[in-house]
Amino acid sequence: MNLFTLVLLLLALSGCSSEVVPDFTQKCPEFFADPKGDRSSPTVFPGNDYKQICQKREDTYEYATLYDTANRIPVYSAYKFEGLQSCIRIDKWFIEPQLEDLGPQMISESNMIQKQAVNQDYEKKSRPLYDKGHLAPVYHARSKSCADATFTLTNAAPQDRSFNRGQWRKTEEGVAEDVKQKCKGNCVYIVTGVVPDYNKPLLNNKVRIPSHFWTAYCCLDNNLGVTDSRGFIGSNINVEVDNITVSELEGKLTTLYGKGTFQVFGGYCH
C-alpha cells in the first residue's frame, strides 16, 4: 500500500472532520462552562502526549476532547446537554488522522495508526470483556449529527461491559433526570473522563484500561451564575457509582491523576 492509498484510507476512516487544535477553549469554547464569564476547561495536563480535539462530523463542532496519545484513551470529553433526543446509534467507529504523524516511512496499516486505539484493540476476547465506553455518550447527544460524532475512538475507553451496560448507564440516565429537574431553562455543561490504571495489563498490548470513570455537570443561569452541580465517580467494575459534590470529585481526581490540582469547571462549580 502506498502513502497515497493510506491517506485515502485514513480519510475514509475519519470522515475527515474533527480538528486537533492548540487550544480548544479558543477554537470550540462553547463546550466549556463560563461561570461568572470566565470560560474554563477542565485541567489540561502539560506535555506533547495530550492533544486537544474539537470534535465534529459535519459542519458544526459537537463536543471537545482531551486525548492521551501515550495511553491511547481520552482524559475527558466536554459537551453541552440540551435534553434527550433518542438518536439512532450508527455503531460505526472512526479514528482521528490528525493525531498520526503521517510520513512516507509508514507503509502498512497496522504500524500506521500509532497514537490512538483502533477497533481491533477492542476485539480481544479476554476477560472481563471491555466495551468501547463512550465518554460523551450517544444517550445525551443533542442531534443526530452529534450522536454520530460520538463514535470516534478518541471519545472511548475500555469499559467493563457489565459496568457500561449496568451502573454507568444508570448514572447517565440519572444525570439526565437530575438536570431536567434542577436546571430548567439553564445551560447544562457536562464533562466525562477516565483515570488510567497503570496496574492492569494493556488491552491488546496497546490501550490503557481505566481504573475509574467519572462525570460532572454544572448548570448556569442567564447571568452565568451557578445554579446546581454534581459529580459522580465509579470504579471500572459494575458496582454503584459515588454521587458527590464537584469539589469532592476534584479532590479525588487530584489524588488519582497525581499531576497536581485537578479542576473540572475552573473551580467555580462546587
Ligand X SMILES: *[C@@H]1O[C@H](CO)[C@@H](O)[C@H](O)[C@H]1NC(C)=O
Binding interface with ligand X (CB under 6 A): 174-175, 178, 230, 243
Could you tell me the smallest distance in angstroms from the CB atom of residue 234 to ligand X?
Answer: 11
Q: How far is residue 210's CA from residue 189's CA, in Å, rounded to a whole number?
A: 23
For ligand X, the closer of residues 13 and 233 by Cβ is 233
Could you tell me the smallest distance in angstroms from the CB atom of residue 172 to ligand X?
Answer: 9
For ligand X, the closer of residues 128 and 174 by Cβ is 174
**Bridge partner list, 50:** 68
Amino acid symbol at 26: Q
Q: How far is residue 52's CA from residue 46's CA, in Å, rounded to a whole number?
A: 11
Q: 162: part of which helix (H) or strand (E)?
A: helix 161-165
For ligand X, the closer of residues 162 and 243 by Cβ is 243
Provide the Cα torsion 218, 74, 64, 57; round to 10°: -130
Could you tell me the smallest distance in angstroms from the CB atom of residue 175 to ligand X?
Answer: 6
Rg (CA), the chain: 18
For ligand X, the closer of residues 113 and 175 by Cβ is 175
Which of 256, 234, 232 is CA-nearest to residue 163?
A: 234
Q: How far is residue 142's CA from residue 80's CA, in Å, rounded to a whole number?
A: 8
Joined together, the cell numbers standing for residue 159 give 469499559
Joined together, the cell numbers standing for residue 148 give 454520530
For ligand X, the closer of residues 10 and 216 by Cβ is 216
Q: Are strands 73-81 and 130-134 parallel, antiparallel or unpaired?
A: unpaired
Q: How far is residue 99's CA from residue 194's CA, in Å, rounded to a whole number?
A: 19
For ligand X, the closer of residues 108 and 181 by Cβ is 181
